[in-house]
Amino acid sequence: MKKFNKSSMLAVAAISLWIGTFLSPILTCGFNNSGSLFLNADPNSKSSPAQTQAITLQNAFEEVFDKVSPSVVSIATERTVNVNVNPFMNGPFFERFYGNDPRSGRQMQQKQTGLGSGVILNTEGYILTNHHVIKDMDKLTVKLKNQKTFEAKLIGSDELMDIALLKIDAPKDSIKPATLGNSEQVKVGNWAIAIGAPLGFEQSFTVGVVSAIQRGGLNSSGLSYIQTDAAINQGNSGGPLLNINGEVIGVNSMIASQSGGSVGIGFAIPINEAKRITEEIKVNGRVIRPWIGVEIYSLNDQIKEELKLKIDQGALVNQIQRGSPADQAGIQIMDVITHFDGKEVKDSNDLVSMVRAGKVGKRVELKLIRKNNEIITSIVLRARPN
């Protein structure tokens, strides 16, 4: 029995020694950060040339954020709508027969909210954002980077161009306007930076490049957009698209996505166009848009073959509104407009841009092709009917 106890004690001692040997580094490292489990940065190490360049770019991004973020605001929207309590009365079948007649079922008021972004234009408190951010909303609340909030007044908006102008009454020393750039100088491959409140995450900063310029044909506005792969999501609408100098080159407006989230295809309204619209809204409260009253198509091989055209550029007149300036000027369906006010018309988007840039009441010269004969006429721009 005594022999067994002695052997056991020796075994325990051996095992204890082995465990102590194994655990001692871990226990030591647990109390001393200079142990083998920690690898501290060497303060004397030098960056490689490539790392130095990357750090310089990183610093440039930080400078852009520090410079512009105080000029970017979040816009909380709110409205009250009447909804039928009975869910069976909300379908299109019942709306067809009863419309919104409250007698068709008991109704209750419901609040709906939204969130967008905007950019401060000047120390007077004017703020640029998208029309779709504030459309049909009863209350607009602007939040600055310093978390101060102000109720905003809608000065006016333009649905076609998706531009809205707001104003807040805030001390001039509490708001910082952004610097506006020149969107005509934007080139494919330039840095593109977005700041806004995607999905409610305020002051979010994303980086990409300009993927395309003059991206037209996206909607009926006739506007050519700046395309970027910088991440843009719901809530970014109305916020600025910036260049590497921290200048606003566009207003983030929409994305192309099957999922509803960013897939790297975002579109911004060029800031030059946004400036023109907001200046007119500030003066008139709305946009008075020139109009000639035609529906047009760009030329393609099929059209050129059917009409036996000898030209490659122009805008084909497909429809004319009765009593419009085009109707009064004698323009006919199947005419091809090749020049507007002395400028060559390349396609339908080109003509839309030219008309939009014109002035109501101005008489302009038109050159067109009719049955392969060149005709010169003139037309007076009128305000587009609402």
On whether both 239 and 294 belong to a single domain, the answer is no
> Does residue 296 fall inside a structural domain?
yes
Catalytic residue among 71, 74, 237, 262: 237
Phi, psi for 288 (deg, rounded to 5): -95, 105
Helix intervals (H) in 245-300:
271-284
On whether both 324 and 351 belong to a single domain, the answer is yes
Most confident of 21-35, 157-171, 281-295: 157-171
> Does residue 12 fall inside a structural domain?
no
Share of the chain above pLDDT 90, in %: 66
Say what the pLDDT of residue 3 is: 47
Give CA separation, 102 vs 39, 83, 110, 231, 241, in Å. Answer: 71, 9, 15, 43, 45
Given 148, 174, 200, the domain boundary residue is 174
Strand boundaries in 130-263, DSSP class E: 139-143, 149-151, 153-158, 163-167, 191-196, 204-215, 225-228, 240-242, 248-255
Which of the four pLDDT bands, split at 50, 70 and 90, describes residue 10? low
> Does residue 46 fall inside a structural domain?
no
**323: Cβ contacts below 8 Å, ≥ 6 apart:** 293
Distance CA 289, CA 296 (A): 17
Tell me, yes or no, if 36 is annotated catalytic: no
Say what the pLDDT of residue 2 is: 46
For position 242, which CATH number holds?
A: 2.40.10.10
On whether both 250 and 339 belong to a single domain, the answer is no
Say what the pLDDT of residue 24 is: 53
Distance CA 288, CA 253 (A): 22
> Does residue 151 fall inside a structural domain?
yes
Given 140, 174, 208, the domain boundary residue is 174
In this prediction the pTM is 0.74
Catalytic residue among 162, 229, 341, 350: 162
Number of domains in the chain: 3
On whether both 188 and 142 belong to a single domain, the answer is no
The identity of residue 181, as a single letter, is G
Helix intervals (H) in 195-243:
none
Tell me, yes or no, if 104 is annotated catalytic: no
Mean confidence (pLDDT) of the chain: 87
| Whether the predicted pLDDT of 195 surpasses 50 | yes
Listed range (21-25, 46-50, 309-313, 362-366) with the worst mean pLDDT = 21-25
Say what the pLDDT of residue 101 is: 58
Tell me, yes or no, if 162 is annotated catalytic: yes
Which of the four pLDDT bands, split at 50, 70 and 90, describes residue 23? low
Pick from 219, 212, 263, 209: nearest CA to 241: 209
Tell me what the mean pLDDT of segment 57-74 comes to.
Answer: 97
Pick from 113, 112, 119: nearest CA to 142: 119
User: Residue 336 CB: number of other CB atoms within 10 A?
Assistant: 24
Say what the pLDDT of residue 102 is: 54
Question: Greater confidence, 43 or 86?
Answer: 43
User: Residue 161 CB: number of other CB atoms within 10 A?
Assistant: 25
On whether both 198 and 238 belong to a single domain, the answer is yes
| Whether the predicted pLDDT of 226 surpasses 90 | yes
User: Residue 187 CB: number of other CB atoms within 10 A?
Assistant: 7
Q: What is the pLDDT of residues 252-288, one digit of tens each?
A: 999 998 888 889 999 999 999 999 999 999 998 888 8
Q: What is the pLDDT of residues 309-366, one digit of tens each?
A: 989 999 999 999 999 999 999 999 999 999 999 999 998 888 988 998 888 999 999 9
Question: Greater confidence, 125 or 82?
Answer: 125
Distance CA 240, CA 245 (A): 13
> Does residue 17 fall inside a structural domain?
no
Which of the four pLDDT bands, split at 50, 70 and 90, describes residue 1? very low
On whether both 318 and 258 belong to a single domain, the answer is no
On whether both 275 and 313 belong to a single domain, the answer is no
> Does residue 294 fall inside a structural domain?
yes
Pairing of strands 149-151, 191-196: unpaired
On whether both 79 and 169 belong to a single domain, the answer is yes
Say what the pLDDT of residue 216 is: 81
> Does residue 108 fall inside a structural domain?
yes
| Whether the predicted pLDDT of 386 surpasses 80 | no
Which of the four pLDDT bands, split at 50, 70 and 90, describes residue 97? low
On whether both 280 and 294 belong to a single domain, the answer is no
In contact, 75 and 135? CB cutoff 8 Å: no
Distance CA 17, CA 136 (A): 78
On whether both 303 and 241 belong to a single domain, the answer is no
Given 284, 300, 330, the domain boundary residue is 284
> Does residue 47 fall inside a structural domain?
no
In contact, 122 and 134? CB cutoff 8 Å: no
In contact, 287 and 309? CB cutoff 8 Å: no
Tell me what the mean pLDDT of segment 220-233 comes to.
Answer: 90
Catalytic residue among 69, 132, 257, 327: 132
Which of the four pLDDT bands, split at 50, 70 and 90, describes residue 223? confident
Query: Which position has the token pair 């080139």?
Result: 187
CA 266: distance to chain centroid?
Answer: 7
For position 335, which CATH number holds?
A: 2.30.42.10
User: Token pair for residue 9?
Assistant: 């004690």
On whether both 300 and 270 belong to a single domain, the answer is no
Q: What residues make up the domain containing 232?
A: 183-284
Adjacency order of strands within the sheet including 149-151:
149-151, 139-143, 72-84, 107-120, 126-129, 163-167, 153-158
Question: Greater confidence, 13 or 82?
Answer: 82
Residue 243: HSE in the Cβ half-sphere, 13 Å Cα cutoff: 19
On whether both 337 and 319 belong to a single domain, the answer is yes
